[in-house]
Amino acid sequence: MRSLSFQFCVLIIFGSLLIPAFCHGHDSHSQKPHKHVPLFVFGDSLFDPGNNLYLNTSHKEASAYWPYGETFFKRPTSEFMELPLTTAYLQPGTHRFTHGSNFASGGAGVLADTHPGTISLPLQLSYFKNVVKQLKQKLGEVKTKKLLMRAVYLFSIGGNDYFGYSMKNQNASQSSQTQFVGMVIRNLTNALEEIYQIGGRKIAFQNVGPLGCVPTNRAKTGNGACAEEASAMAKMHNAALANVLKNLQTRLPGFKYSIFDYYNTLSDKINHPSKYGFKEGKSACCGSGAYRASNCGGQGFGGTTTKFELCSIPGDYVWFDGGHTTERANRQLAELLWNGTPNCTAPHNIKQLFGHME
């Protein structure tokens, strides 16, 4: 998947979001955190707050340009409930790591060789270790350990691994797909165990979305249907991830987790947009070609410029570009990530993880 740093804009909204019966948010006034809880974010373009702007590669280009971020401070960014704007780790200047940090990178994967030039999960983990060293220098070992145990570790990663695999291995056998999913999951599990050993106890995941139904893949099928192989691998990944997290909770004392069912929640918006206040669930607001699936912003790799179309009301669309949802869709999704009921965010939602103290 093209490395767009369009932000997930995790805005926890307590206004009247239109969220029908598929899944709901809990009462927003209950279970408020009683103690400062840092947030460390790992992931891809869905959570990238601008790290790719500081990469000396082609992966930094796309979302640095209008129309990305047009309705939020006129630029891409991200925000989390009751925390300052979560700083991009690579952003120059002073960082308040006691509030956490965001290591996510557009185009990044769990595997180091997924989109070289981005900040892969192994590199994100190394950055996190650097943060831990700085915290220990500032706070000392004991206070740092307590802070890391209170913290929430939020992930959205894996989709780019499967995008890359499907592009290179068209018509791959079922066994080959299963083997690849297993490799991704093993590497992801190793990272989670390492975070636990460092002190992390509360892990939150947005699982992999319906990859075959993003406009980019839909445009490739020729008949407007979803690309079934890509979605099938996402389903395999999500089932394996759920098993891994359940197992880690069983064998690691104090380990707690949350999985937001991004796959099914987003699929419902795509298939039934009017239920959620949208007019269009398949085509993107911004881009060119079938389903406006490509070239949003007109900034290609190597500085090339291409024509694109931009809808007049982005909030009418589920998709902003070929692989990323609009700010309005993100607000609805963020509410459920933070405060969703067990049928879409389980066994805890992130708000509950913020309330769980050691």
CA dist 254 → 155, 186, 235, 358 (Å):
19, 21, 28, 8
The answer for residues whose C-beta is within 8 angstroms of residue 305's C-beta and 6 or more apart is 298, 299
Render the burial of 236-255: b for 16+ CB within 10 Å, e for the rest: bbbebbbebbeebeeeeeeb
Catalytic residue status for 48: no
Active-site hit among 45, 63, 101, 120: 45
Catalytic residue status for 30: no
How many other C-beta atoms lie within 10 A of the C-beta of residue 267?
A: 18
Catalytic residue status for 261: no
Active-site hit among 26, 115, 237, 324: 324
* CA-closest candidate to residue 326, choices 286, 272, 274: 286
Residue appearing with tokens 């601008």: 50
- Render 87-103 in DSSP notation, one character per residue: PBTTSSS---GGGEEE-
Q: Would you please indicate which residues are annotated as catalytic (active-site) residues? A: 45, 321, 324
